[in-house]
Amino acid sequence: MMAKNKAWISPALWGAAAGAVATMVVGFAWGGWLTGGSAEKMAAAREEKAVVQAFLPLCVAEGKLHPDQHVALEAASYYRRGDFVEKAGWVTVTGPYREDVASACAEALLKTT
């Protein structure tokens, strides 16, 4: 009687292992599962976008108060426009997203002029 019970244990374990692997492959490939690192990267990107969207109107409004400086902003190189906006004092946010807000603000101001 013990021999009959042992005969199905090995195939059952292999089947369970194959099912677990197949579930993980399908879950990560098509099911939308994420690793912790990927989820953190997505959350950080959403946070950055939210901060930029929140402070962009304030920066643009401040920049519009100084139309005399728009010519200098246009003359600045593409990579220096964010620095120009920061030095002009139009960016009100502090912290890690200050440069992102400044760059977005410069682009928005150039589109409106």
Tokens 């402070």 locate to 55
Same domain as 80, residue 64: yes
Same domain as 63, residue 105: yes
pLDDT tens digits, residue range 4-19? 667 777 888 888 899 9
Per-residue pLDDT at 48 exceeds 60: yes
Rg (CA), the chain: 28
Count: domains in the chain: 2
Same domain as 92, residue 70: yes
Rounded CA gap, 76 and 71, in Å?
A: 9
Same domain as 43, residue 26: no
Same domain as 74, residue 51: yes
Tell me which residue range forms the domain holding 13: 1-33
Nearest to 96 by CA among 62, 61, 52: 52
Same domain as 102, residue 64: yes
Same domain as 43, residue 19: no
pLDDT tens digits, residue range 67-92? 999 999 999 999 999 999 999 999 98
Same domain as 43, residue 96: yes
